[in-house]
Amino acid sequence: MNLAAGPPFGAIFDWDGVIIDSGNLHEESWRRLAQEIGKSIAPESFVRGFGMKSEQVIARVHGWSQEAAEIVRLTNRKEELYREILAETEIAPLPGVTEWLARLQKSGVPCAIASSTPRANIEVLLTRFGLKETFPVVISAEDVVHGKPDPEVFLKAAERLRLDPRDTVVFEDAWVGIEAAHAADMSAIAVATTHSPEQLRRADLVVSRLDELSVARVTELMEKRRHRSAPNE
């Protein structure tokens, strides 16, 4: 990227586990749904399904149904339960998020959300946090066919930002997101909020919280990755 011609990079953020920590709320919504429909939840199912679309979790992780219409019904009900829980809960961005977003805005870095989370779940909290203008691009579950580790969600975010995928960096907290970012030829910075640094070692960089970063550090990281992936450019 020619730094004189535009921003140093584009920033693409996963939602759950990166901007907010709502894991316990999602777990509770799955528990309530299971109780409601008389189903059981397998041990470690939440960890196995982290980062996946709810449809994938229902069919592949919980094994509750393989019927398309029933999967849609259960998905919609799960998200209704999640939003009911959310309305009752105090929640704020993860530590370091607000500071990092302020640095990005100051440097003119365009930001996008790219998540398997339904749009309504994201937008209600962006409004609550006063971050709607920070994220003019939101790619959510409704915008993609394939969930992570497929790169579709990140590629669509880069397209909406009008940037080459190699000029974007993904901020993730799960291995499926890191795999998706690399499949899209993007840099991946992992935040060790829901997984240990060892579990996130495939990322280009692992941090404990986002405000450990600087724009210069991320730019340097991306340039190194681009050089490695395209040595003949």
Average pLDDT of the chain is 91
C-alpha dihedral sign at 94, 96, 102, 104: negative
The DSSP-derived string for 179-203 is: HHHHHTT-EEEEETTSS-TGGGTTS
- CA 181 to chain centroid, in Å, comes to 10
Distance of alpha carbon 108 from alpha carbon 91, whole angstroms:
27
CATH number of 3-21+93-229: 3.40.50.1000
pLDDT at residue 216 is higher than 50: yes
Taking residues 34-44, report their average pLDDT: 88
Confidence tier at 215 by pLDDT (50, 70, 90): very high
- pLDDT at position 51 over 80: no
Q: Which of 16-25, 146-155, 165-174, 204-213 has the lowest mean pLDDT?
A: 16-25
- Domain ranges across the chain: 3-21+93-229, 23-87
Mean pLDDT of 200-229: 91
Model pLDDT, residue 201: 95
pTM of the full structure: 0.82
Whole-angstrom distance, CA of residue 206 vs CA of residue 188:
9
pLDDT, average across residues 163-186 = 96
Query: Please, is 174 exposed, middle or buried when counting C-beta atoms within 10 Å of its C-beta (0-12, 13-18, 19+)?
Result: buried
CB 233 within 8 A of CB 164: no
pLDDT over 90, % of the chain: 71
Average pLDDT over residues 142-168: 95
Query: For the residues 43-68, what does the mean pLDDT come to?
Result: 84
Q: For 107-140, what is each residue's pLDDT tens digit?
A: 999 999 999 888 988 999 999 999 999 999 999 9
The dihedral built from the CA positions of residue 209, 140, 202 and 198, taken in this order, carries a sign that is: positive
